[in-house]
Amino acid sequence: MTQPAHKKSTGWVQTKPTALLVLADGTVIEGKGAGAQGSAVAELCFNTALTGYQEILTDPSYSGQIVVFTFPHIGNTGANGEDTEILNPAQRHGAVGAVFKADLSPPSSYRATEGLDQWLEKRGIIGLSGVDTRALTGFIREKGAPNAVIAHNAAGTFDIEDLRRKARQWPGLVGLDLAWEAGCGQSAAWRETPWQWNHGYGEERQGRYHIVAVDYGIKRNILRLLAGLGAKVTLMPGTGTAADILALKPDGIFLSNGPGDPAAMRAYAVPMIQALLQSGIPLFGICLGHQLLALAGGGQTLKMRQGHHGANHPVKDKNTGKVEIVSMNHGFAVDAASLPAEFEETHISLFDGSNCGIRLKGRPVFSVQHHPEASPGPQDSHYLFRRFLDLIKAHKTQSGKSAPIAAQ
């Protein structure tokens, strides 16, 4: 799958590439470099979203991955300081590389403060353009997500055999715990609320309810929507204990998204979640938090062939029959067949039937695999945050009763 020579008026000549994508099977794809120089080894995946490339590249769940954008024109909205999803902008968690079909478009948005090329360089993300991304996406669909090295050198100097060796020897994401370093290192308060046209982000200072968000690599917009419920939000590290969380006397507990293999986190995440479940406090999980909830309840997770990455995924709510168009970003999934009888499957992907939601019967506990906060155009899944708030309200009202409250 090497790239063709470029045709010029004087005939066929080979333009020296300034960036390479080297797959574990030895395939070398040539192109033009963008962003940071250097090399990085990761899993290669594709994303079908038409918009939101800045949010995608700074989503901590993409740690250990290179993103192939199927939309051909990337960069037209530039970059700014508001659309970064990573909690601490100084951190480099998120995608390590990005692959584009066309050269990066110049910015054309009143919100842009810099071009994507400059932004990629500052973020330490390696870019590669001039690639037949449709063919590369087809390759991933057929073969599964491969390990790969992306490299950028302005002089076009590469040790291809060394890059092949690195891609071949990288162990991959299975068994890899990336969440422990993607999350916050200590407890912190969050007040920022969702963005509004011509107003920007707001601030919640009162907080009628207290939600503790367990951070495995949380996205900013999740925290904004939690604060937008009228809640005081406290971040806690994913490596913390249930005792640490319960000492804060939360009205609700949230389990965040994050990168890596959920099964690799069993030793510390599962016992903590199991203890939280015993408390009876309403609990809501998204993405990695969804997978960890399933593990804590006795279920299993599995590695997907190519994963789900995009903003146009149809998911069906099995309770209502409603079909939602959602954003997704996950390479692991809950094995629905492994779930014990105490769990009910609530959502499924209409692409492949994989599990996208569960709830614990008779308890105020539920989770989803997709990203209801991402707002890829529709806001079909925002009701999940309101459902969480309703459970919190009901639990506070009946806090003196012994009977648990069932999720709606």
Please identify every residue annotated as catalytic: 287, 371, 373
Rounded to whole angstroms, how far apart are CA atoms 131 and 125? 17
How far CA 290 is from CA of 270, 287, 365, 366, 405, in Å, comes to 12, 5, 11, 8, 20
- What is the total residue count of the chain? 408
Please check whether residue 43 is in contact with residue 83, taking contact to mean a CB–CB distance below 8 angstroms: no
Q: Extract long-range pairs of 168-174: CB within 8 Å, 24+ residues apart.
A: 168/24, 168/26, 170/24, 170/41, 170/42, 172/43, 172/147, 173/43, 173/64, 173/65, 173/260, 173/261, 173/303, 173/331, 174/261, 174/303
Alpha-carbon dihedral 40, 334, 70, 79, rounded to 10 degrees:
-70
Residue 283 CB: number of other CB atoms within 10 A? 28
Side-chain half-sphere exposure of 289, counting CA atoms within 13 A: 27
